Amino acid sequence: MNARKHEEAGEAIIKAVRSVLSIAPALPVRDQIDRELAIADAACARDYFLPDEDAQVRLLFARYLMALLSRFALCPTAPPTIAADSTSTDRMSI
């Protein structure tokens, strides 16, 4: 790989890292996940969600969809960087 290709790959990686860091605040932390799982467990035990629990689950799902959409926005730039001049048979999931 020549110097220009290395530079282009580096720029693409920097852009991808910036994108990931920008969506990081939308991703839940472990404590949030534990709270949501506790809500889901309680709802499963009684076979329904309370109205406030339902609202929390809907907000969580909306955050998930936003993070997923942001992640898919990275796909057009990441695969060419990974695939460029790769001799490995390993696959990377994005």
Residue 94: the pLDDT is 43
Residues 6+ apart with CB under 8 A from 81: 9, 12, 13, 16
Do the beta carbons of residue 78 and residue 94 sit within 8 Å? yes
Do the beta carbons of residue 9 and residue 81 sit within 8 Å? yes
Q: 41 or 4: which carries more pLDDT confidence?
A: 41
All structural domains of the chain with their residue ranges: 3-83
Three-state DSSP state, 8: helix
| Residue 87 reports pLDDT greater than 90 | no
Residue 49: the pLDDT is 93
Residue 77: the pLDDT is 54
| Per-residue pLDDT reduced to its tens digit, 7-28 | 888 888 888 788 778 777 777 7
| Per-residue pLDDT reduced to its tens digit, 42-80 | 999 999 999 999 998 898 888 888 877 777 776 655 544
Sequence-ordered strand ranges (E) for 3-94? none
